Structure 1
């Protein structure tokens, strides 16, 4: 039986302990700051926010390129010659990363590519689902594993509130006037993944503590999330009181396991400090 190796991008914000536990190979995306190219994960997120504080500019981000995927797949095959690789990728609707993986995979055999149509915790939820399934059924055929992962992709639901409208404005995602009005009125947009695309849906007013609770309620009303596992996503700067409150609400709603995931450089560059999100899998 061929060994199955899972891989994904750093944009999944997969916790290091889980990547190590399940031997998931994570390939970094890129952050460009002050003319330097940093591998996502090598640059402390706080430095991104400090840079913005000094310059009122945000770094740019780029996808994992085809050469990097070639190296990733080559290294996996070198260490595990008889392995089958199942790569679960960052949404192709928001990055060229997945297409670069497709290009690189043409040179290899026994590679399956799955577009998760999701990012951060939504992508992590799919990857962890695959890892746990593989642990439960180590002899599962690769094709059957891929079928099950592809079936769960549409059930992964992610919604988040960026930490700063000013940060979104600096990145060109909202206009100066919209940012000013939103800040004055304390409006916080909710971003969701719809068919792999980042879409602004609802708007919340007030402090993050209240907005996070409203987001969570709306999320549970809209989606029938499996109570076995829930993921909360945060960018550094989120108040600890908000975290405690959300843990309490999740427990009251019957979630057995709650995992907090810190947004890495790729996601934080686009959302700002103090952001909050939730991800899970529908039943």
Structure 2
């Protein structure tokens, strides 16, 4: 029986220990600063925030290109001969990456693509669901496995609070009017993935310690998330006391496993410093 190998983009923000443990193949997305291209996953997030502090500019991001996907799939074929590749990709509604993967995949057999319609922790949740399912059912066919993965895509929920409206405005997720009002009134928009698109669904007012707890409780009340696993996402700068409080709430809610993930350079260009997010799969 052919071995199944999973691949995804760096925009999943998967912790390195999980990537290495499960041999998940990750292809980088890109961060652009002053016209220079940096690979997400290799660029320290601190450099993104330092760049903004120095220049008052927000870095831009670009998708993984066709050549990079071709190299990724070729490397997998070399490292894992006769394998079946399942690529679980960054939402096609917010990046050209998935389209590039589709084009590159035309040159390969036994290569299948799934549009996760999600990003960061939401994408990671789907990848880890796939990895766990395969480990629990090693004899499962790739067809049945893909059916199960695709079935959880619409049930995967991601919500996050940006740490800075400057970064969110630069990414086109908030208008200038909303930005000014948000800064003056200390309003933080909640961003969620709705049918693969990043959408501002609600607004919170107050300090991050207050709004993070409000988001967590609203999220858990709105969605019936599987208590086996919850993913909590942070960007550098989130206060440790907030992280401890989110852990407490998650444990009180009955989650068996809580995995913290740091937003990488690419995601941090949209979230800014001190952002917080939650991701999980509904029952």
The TM-score range, normalised by the shorter chain, is over 0.9
Alpha-carbon RMSD across the aligned residues, in angstroms, is 0.9
1:192 equivalent in structure 2:
192
Q: What CA distance in whole angstroms lies between the structure 2 residues aligned with 1:157 and 1:174?
A: 21
Q: Deviations over 1:132-164 (max 9, x none)?
A: 111111221111111110011111100000001
Q: What CA distance in whole angstroms lies between the structure 2 residues aligned with 1:175 and 1:154?
A: 28
Assess if the C-alpha contact under 8 Å between 2:192 and 2:200 holds in 1: yes
2:254 equivalent in structure 1:
254
Q: Deviations over 1:92-120 (max 9, x none)?
A: 00000001000000000001100000000
Q: What CA distance in whole angstroms lies between the structure 2 residues aligned with 1:26 and 1:60?
A: 21
Q: What CA distance in whole angstroms lies between the structure 1 residues aligned with 2:12 and 2:154?
A: 16
1:138 equivalent in structure 2:
138
1:212 paired with 2:191, answer no
For residues 163-182 of structure 1, the aligned pairs below 5 Å read 163-182=163-182
2:71 equivalent in structure 1:
71
Count of matched residue positions in the alignment of Structure 1 and Structure 2: 283
For residues 1-283 of structure 1, the aligned pairs below 5 Å read 1-283=1-283
Moved over 4 A (4+): none
**What is the TM-score when the length of structure 1 is the normalising length?**
0.98
Q: What CA distance in whole angstroms lies between the structure 2 residues aligned with 1:56 and 1:211?
A: 26
Runs (5+) with no aligned partner, structure 2: none
**What is the TM-score when the length of structure 2 is the normalising length?**
0.98
Assess if the C-alpha contact under 8 Å between 1:205 and 1:211 holds in 2: yes
Once the two structures are TM-superposed, the CA of residue 177 in structure 1 deviates from its matched residue by: 3.7
Assess if the C-alpha contact under 8 Å between 1:162 and 1:274 holds in 2: yes
Secondary structure of the corresponding residue to residue 109 of structure 2? coil
Once the two structures are TM-superposed, the CA of residue 171 in structure 1 deviates from its matched residue by: 3.7
Runs (5+) with no aligned partner, structure 1: none
Once the two structures are TM-superposed, the CA of residue 179 in structure 1 deviates from its matched residue by: 1.8
Once the two structures are TM-superposed, the CA of residue 172 in structure 1 deviates from its matched residue by: 4.0
Q: What CA distance in whole angstroms lies between the structure 1 residues aligned with 2:172 and 2:101?
A: 27
Q: Deviations over 1:155-208 (max 9, x none)?
A: 110000000112223444334443222111110000000000000010000000
Q: Which is further off, 168-177 or 146-155?
A: 168-177
Q: What CA distance in whole angstroms lies between the structure 1 residues aligned with 2:173 and 2:3?
A: 43
Q: Which is further off, 168-177 or 8-17?
A: 168-177
Assess if the C-alpha contact under 8 Å between 2:170 and 2:270 holds in 1: no
Q: What CA distance in whole angstroms lies between the structure 2 residues aligned with 1:183 and 1:96?
A: 31
Q: What CA distance in whole angstroms lies between the structure 2 residues aligned with 1:243 and 1:85?
A: 36
